[in-house]
Amino acid sequence: MSERWYKEAVVYCVDVASFQDSNGDGCGDIPGLISRLDYLSRLGVTCLWLNPIHPSPLRDNGYDVSDYYGIHPRLGTLGDFAELAVQARERGIRLLLDLVVNHTSDEHPWFQSARRDADSPYRGWYVWSDTEPADRRQGIVFPGEQTETWTYDRAARRWYFHRFYDFQPDLDWSNPAVRAEIRKVMTFWLQLGASGFRIDAAPFVLEQVEADVDPGPLDFTILDEWRQGVQWNAGDAVLLCEANVDRDQLAKYCAAAEDGPNDRAHMLFAFWLNAQVWLGLARQTAEPLVATLAQLPKLPAMAQWATFLRNHDELDLSRLTDDQRTEVMRSFAPKPQMREFDRGIRRRLAPMMAGDRRRMELAHSLLFSLPGTPVLRYGEEIGMGEDLSLPGREAIRMPMQWDDTANAGFSPVARTRLVRPVISRGRFGYRRVNVRDQRGDTDSFLRWFESMIRALRECPEIGVGTLQVIDKGAPPAVLVLRYDAPEGSILVLHNLADAPAEVALDRVADVQHAYQVFGDAGYEPLAPRSPSVRLNGWGYCWLRLRRGS
């Protein structure tokens, strides 16, 4: 593999507890995940991002860590993790871990010591105020579930800061001891075989919080140090930042200097692009995408976007205007119970698209051919659904549907003992949507997914090439992207509307010898004199224009 492995990766986000139970306790675990690596390998996954696996009281799905050096006992042991790292690497699959260090759990021994003992070495590891901050009800991330950002602690007799829930006290990142400890945490997991980290809540880690100063200044030297540390420990390890920030702030997460080298995070989630993709899908037009791609901040050459359609949280539409958000909600989350935090959608893709295979293919073909590295949430490859009877973001965290036996083949226990209920009813229930059935059906969505990822392997330009958005000759519904790289040139076309659309390609260089690599139908050969493609409604195709010398 090249040094740019992350640019050609297919990242698959797994919640280990929901994937495969191996020991019959009703909860997915690391040995269960190991037993499914062959499935992931066949799918074409090259990198797993594991949602938090550490000991935790699990009040925020593990994003409330109580020991950074361990594995939650329900998921397995450190030995199991080392085994996973080896088994994954044997199959060319790397591991990214969630690094959740903006805050700890309030049950973390550091916080317990800090609050109980004024002389504790950990007192200075958290952010305190002796007096009640006037802004303590501001800066809330989870409206409806969270009422304040400063909470009074009786034992410490002062207020502590928590950007998220009150059981997640923020670490004080201005404290060198905190910095040194977390560097050790990173070293530990890299030595055990991780290939990097998804940096949870990156802007909040960098923010230097002080009572009544909102927002606090950002300290990017934290990222500088992490990058150096990671590279020193493992040359090919990467940092992937969760930073849903303003457009003009994004590039700073990848480089200290404008136009400078990539000396901070290697990858950044493309939240901004994601919201525009959904606006385009709702409006059935490529225009929001054309505009956004033209304005994407330039990242340093070695840095890369991480693109996605949805992740483990609500599908966050906060970067849209109120009217735009209403449009997307109207199309994809028409009922109030499908929404979350006044800004997002708690549904999975297949039900959002009413199970319409053409739209599901279009959306994923688009995702996998946008500039960046695609990140897929487990279960999307078979078109899993959601369970809106569960609270909040739990609705999209259901067990993986492996087959049509009891509990979807996820676990052999009695249904009542499952870590989460399986989806058993309706169109997306496990008897109708599962891996085993789709494995046996050559026309299934899973088979389609595998063939798309295989096609991507033949088009490295999409991960690494220079992007050009071609809007001349394209009707408003169609997004036409061209990628040029030493390996060759690729043209990708996506029709975001249900009506067929004609795309003139006569101005596209090298189009004369174009041949199709992937598509919902056969679109070549193109007429030599006036080449054009008539895309089906929600049709798409990837054309190879040129191979490198």
Which residues form the catalytic set? 200, 242
Going residue by residue from 277 to 316, which x/- string records binding to ligand NOJ, judged by CB under 6 A? ------------------------------------x---
Going residue by residue from 310 to 349, which x/- string records binding to ligand NOJ, judged by CB under 6 A? ---x------------------------------------
N-term to C-term CA, the chain: 20
To which H or E segment does residue 161 belong? strand 158-161
Shorter beta-carbon distance to ligand NOJ: residue 18 or 536: 18
Residue at 275: amino acid letter = A
How far is Cα 86 from Cα 95, in angstroms, rounded to an integer? Answer: 10
Q: Which residue in 8, 29, 172, 200 binds ligand NOJ (CB under 6 A)? A: 200
Closest CA to 204 of 140, 283, 255: 140
Taking the complex as a whole, the smallest distance from the CB of residue 312 to ligand NOJ amounts, in Å, to 6
164 binds ligand NOJ (CB under 6 A): yes
Taking the complex as a whole, the smallest distance from the CB of residue 455 to ligand NOJ amounts, in Å, to 30
Q: Structure tokens of 27?
A: 């909860």
Taking the complex as a whole, the smallest distance from the CB of residue 393 to ligand NOJ amounts, in Å, to 7
Taking the complex as a whole, the smallest distance from the CB of residue 315 to ligand NOJ amounts, in Å, to 12
To which H or E segment does residue 326 belong? helix 322-332
Shorter beta-carbon distance to ligand NOJ: residue 313 or 471: 313
Q: In degrees rounded to 5, what are phi and psi of residue 57?
A: -70, -5
97 binds ligand NOJ (CB under 6 A): no
Residue nearest to ligand NOJ (CB): 63
49 binds ligand NOJ (CB under 6 A): no
Shorter beta-carbon distance to ligand NOJ: residue 200 or 520: 200
Q: In degrees rounded to 5, what are phi and psi of residue 534?
A: -105, 100
Taking the complex as a whole, the smallest distance from the CB of residue 73 to ligand NOJ amounts, in Å, to 21
Going residue by residue from 474 to 513, which x/- string records binding to ligand NOJ, judged by CB under 6 A? ----------------------------------------
Taking the complex as a whole, the smallest distance from the CB of residue 238 to ligand NOJ amounts, in Å, to 18
Shorter beta-carbon distance to ligand NOJ: residue 275 or 435: 275
- CA angle 171-176-180, nearest 5°? 85
Q: Buried b vs exposed e over 405-430: b needs ≥16 C-beta within 10 Å?
A: eebbbbbebeeeebbbebbeeeebbb
Q: For 211-273, give the DSSP string.
A: TTBSSPPB-THHHHHHHHHHHHH-TT-EEEE-----HHHHGGGT-SSTT----S-SEEE-HHH
Shorter beta-carbon distance to ligand NOJ: residue 100 or 114: 100
To which H or E segment does residue 153 belong? strand 150-153
Q: In degrees rounded to 5, what are phi and psi of residue 502?
A: -95, 130
Q: Which residue in 33, 171, 201, 462 binds ligand NOJ (CB under 6 A)? A: 201
Do 97 and 53 contact (CB within 8 A), yes or no?
yes
Q: Which residue in 21, 29, 60, 340 binds ligand NOJ (CB under 6 A)? A: 60
Binding site for ligand NOJ (CB under 6 A): 60, 63, 100, 164, 200-201, 313
